[in-house]
């Protein structure tokens, strides 16, 4: 099993979910996060006082999938959210030791 973490632009959440649904990935955790990569922040001005906002709003998706599906899932995600501009986001893949479904105590890939 692998965990796929994806940080994307908030506006791309729907297309990412659509892409995952199309390839049969059902389990998903979504959080609102803030951060920045190489993308610069923006400037806000209130009555002449300027503030640089460098922590930007992003959406993070997390899902655990069978290791064999890693490339299929990441490819679908990249196609769904890429615009080609700075700030499109990142995907991180890590190995997962165990998964447990709390309801019936099933283990491993059958718990996904």
Name the site residues for another protein (rule: CB under 8 A): 44-49, 51
Q: Which is nearer to another protein, 45 or 86 (CB)?
A: 45
- In the three-class reduction of DSSP (H, G, I as helix; E, B as strand; rest coil), residue 73 is classed as helix
Query: What are the backbone dihedrals phi and psi of residue 26, each rounded to the nearest 5 degrees, phi first?
Result: -100, -40
Closest separation in Å from C-beta 105 to another protein: 31
Closest separation in Å from C-beta 8 to another protein: 24
Closest separation in Å from C-beta 30 to another protein: 17
> Of 4, 1, 46, 10, which Cα lies nearest the Cα of 31?
10
Tokens (6 digits) for 41: 């922040």
Q: Which is nearer to another protein, 47 or 103 (CB)?
A: 47
Closest separation in Å from C-beta 22 to another protein: 33
Q: Which is nearer to another protein, 14 or 44 (CB)?
A: 44
> Of 34, 30, 21, which Cα lies nearest the Cα of 60?
30
Q: Is the dihedral of CA 68, 71, 74, 80 positive or negative?
A: negative
Q: Which is nearer to another protein, 51 or 92 (CB)?
A: 51
- In the three-class reduction of DSSP (H, G, I as helix; E, B as strand; rest coil), residue 34 is classed as strand
């Amino acid at each position: 099993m692998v965990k796929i973490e994806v940080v994307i632009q908030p506006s791309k959440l729907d297309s990412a979910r659509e892409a995952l649904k199309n390839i049969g990935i059902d389990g998903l955790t979504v959080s609102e996060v803030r951060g920045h990569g190489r993308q610069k922040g923006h400037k806000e001005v209130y009555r002449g006082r300027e503030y640089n906002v460098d922590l930007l709003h992003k959406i993070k998706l997390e899902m655990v999938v069978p290791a064999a599906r890693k490339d299929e899932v990441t490819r679908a995600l990249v196609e769904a959210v890429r615009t080609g501009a700075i700030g499109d986001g990142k995907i991180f893949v890590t190995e997962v030791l165990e998964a447990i479904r709390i309801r019936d105590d099933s283990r491993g890939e059958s718990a996904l």
